[in-house]
Amino acid sequence: MIMAEDQKSCLDLKSLSGGYGKVPILHGIEFSVAENEVVGILGHNGMGKSTLLKTIMGFLPASSGAVRFHGVEITRLSPYERAGLGIGYVPQGRGIFPQLSVRDNLRFAWHDYSGGSEDEVIEAVLADFPRLARLLDRMGGALSGGEQQLLALARSLMGDPEFLLLDEPTEGIQPSIIEEMSETLLHLRERRGLSILLVEQNFDFIADLSDRVLVLERGRIAGELGKADLADQAKVDQFLGFGAARSTRGNLAGAANAAPGPVPTPSRPQQNNAPVPITPQPSVTSMTIKRPSLSQMRAMASRFGMNLTDAELTEYSQIMEPYIQAYDRLDAMPDNLPEVRYPRSPGRFPDATENPLNAWYVKTEVRGAPDGPLRGKRIALKDTICLAGVPMMNGSSIIEGYTPEIDATIVTRLLDAGAVIAGKAHCENFCLSGGSHTNAKGPVHNPWKRGYMANGSSSGSAALVAAGEVDMAIAGDQGGSIRLPSSACGVYGMKATHGLVPYTGVMPVEMTIDHVGPVTSTVADNALLLEVLAGEDGLDPRQYNPKIYRYTEALGRGAQGLRIGILKEGFHRPESEADVDQKVLAAADRFRQLGAMVEEISVPEHNLAVDCWTAITVEGLQDHMMHGNMGGTNYRGLFLPSMIDQMSHWRNRADELSHSLKTCMFLGEHFQTQYRGRFYGKAQNLMRRVNEKYAEALKRFDVLLMPTMPMKPQEIPPADCSISLYVQRAFEMIGNTAPFNGGLPAMSVPCGLSEGLPIGMMLVGPSFGEMKIYQAAHAFEQSEDWRSM
């Protein structure tokens, strides 16, 4: 991005950011274009290329930064004023008037600053576009696509610009017109001294015209290729691997990796009952996908355990070509992602003075509908939840810097209900910890006792609610991650029945244990928030006909007549602390005083459930979260390719993964490779038996009762602690919570303090039995202040 010393700058962008009013697209763009220089911009669809040109031209406002033209700042000028200074713009899609003639299209673009009379300027422009001279009386809509593009280019010259912004000029144009357009632009550059900023995906076109090419990725300049680089096959291969270029000539370096020649016709006739091969689509010129090289084919064959000759591999490459072209066409299509409905800014990262617990990742002020059940409620989101245009990191340096382009389903529901999204709360590193010591930005502290765990993985969500910094928070739960921090921080956290709350747009771990739900300071707020969150969205495969209720109607019913079962296996565990058991048993006695029937019950399979959860989690996360890059396959639902791309970087930065995640990866990989996934399947089978046993108990009782965590929050281990202590502090407390990630609803209810730290009681109900849980929790909450119990 550095110009030669003898080149004078024409256009300068400094820290330019902007978007479409709702979602920021450009992030700190900086580069310059010299006089008489052509700079190309190459990138995937949706990376901000067109947004960049519209912002430079003034059709979109810059949210920050500056645009300077010949040293004069034009950031706040209108498009008309910028055109008057000498900037021309040819939009994507051409933008001609189809019901006006070619002549009238040109006349419409004449201005008093065009450097001559209307007829003089038209004559000068037609000299550069002789093809249009014989079409002057033809309607714009009757022109071919290529002729329309030439007209759009000619029309832009009617204002006598010295700088041109060209947006995808070759899109949908036949090769002969593309060649003519390239020659015309080179001629204009030489004769008029034009500078050009060219957004293009045709590699041949952009390479022929450009002095250098900038790569735009997710609204940021990610790289640059000079003229020499554009002739370097290795560099071009790397370019095409980015998936952003197409070819007119069909001789791209990336295509050299595919075997040459036509797709062969099968030499042997098909048998009568043989499957008919897929009929390939016509060949395309948009070759955006990198073809496998022969060495890559050899490596794949080796991984598959195949013994194939190079000749056979070459033939397979030829056979694959028409099917790879399907990927070319997919890459050229815009994605089908949910609409973002509410405006927002990217937020800001709070400094230590306003983030004493290290519970915030980023603060925002995203306002929803003016009215609704959550009107004015300030809500923090666990930093696994997509909030469009706002950065996220899921506790990991590997994800840091990623900015999603969608709102999760639950975010849209919150905003539709009138909530204000106050920011993203820190969570544990890829959510693989029940402690609060693994975030790449440092530990989250307990609001009751600094230096102690807020627990996790939704550590920041619970800490912010407990500290009174937000009214409510959203947390996620794969092994207790809503309930554990709620217990540690003295707030109410509900892990609803699996699938009741849509997980769409939330970073997953393993689909059969993924849950997301509310954390609040009162039971009433929790029930209200679940009413807003619950229900199918048609995009989450975890949902299977959920039963939805008005949960606030459970409030005030009292505990009289409730049947509460004290789960024997939840107490006096090897990791249990006596004061925790005592406080929770005292809470059970309080229910008796409130008129509930309270008895002990044994479900021995409760301990088996932890073993099942272990196999499901470590093998499932390795397949889905790690190898599947948080996307995976074999389900219908919303996929977020940008998140998949970002997550894939872990392979080059695996040392940055937390010790707890590394432990799970070693376990998952070993049992998947050595035992072929059989234990994952067996664990899922046995978890059904466990749930059947819980269901039998819940026929006798409305809810089951036990400690949420068998122990109080522990001290945060030092940063230089042993790996063993680090991992111990991550998983030592999940014995009661993980079993219910098999699907049943469970809620942590604060029930007392010991040594200045909160203790949580967990109430568990049958499938879609949240109403009974809320009834019991509210009766307990209203009986006495839990802090004095």
Active site residues: 382, 457, 481
The residues, ordered by sequence, that sit 6+ positions from 116 with a Cβ below 8 Å of its Cβ are 124
SS (H, E, C) 570-593: HCCCCCCCHHHHHHHHHHHHHHHH
SS (H, E, C) 257-306: HCCCCCCCCCCCCCCCCCCCCCCCCCCCCCCCCCCCCHHHHHHHHHHHCC
CB 219 within 8 A of CB 24: yes
627 DSSP assignment: I
The residues, ordered by sequence, that sit 6+ positions from 47 with a Cβ below 8 Å of its Cβ are 216, 217, 218, 219, 244
Amino acid present at 236: V
The residues, ordered by sequence, that sit 6+ positions from 372 with a Cβ below 8 Å of its Cβ are 416, 417, 418, 419
Burial of 180 (0-12, 13-18, 19+ CB in 10 A): middle
Residue 721 CA: distances (Å) to CA of 5, 95, 454, 729: 53, 63, 18, 11
For β-strands 87-90 and 163-167, DSSP reports them as parallel
CA dist., res. 462 & res. 480, Å (int): 13
CA dist., res. 609 & res. 742, Å (int): 8
Amino acid present at 545: N
Residue 456 CA: distances (Å) to CA of 432, 436, 714, 728: 9, 5, 12, 13
Nearest to 310 by CA among 297, 327, 319, 300: 297
The encoded tokens of residue 91 equal 């939009």
CA dist., res. 751 & res. 463, Å (int): 17
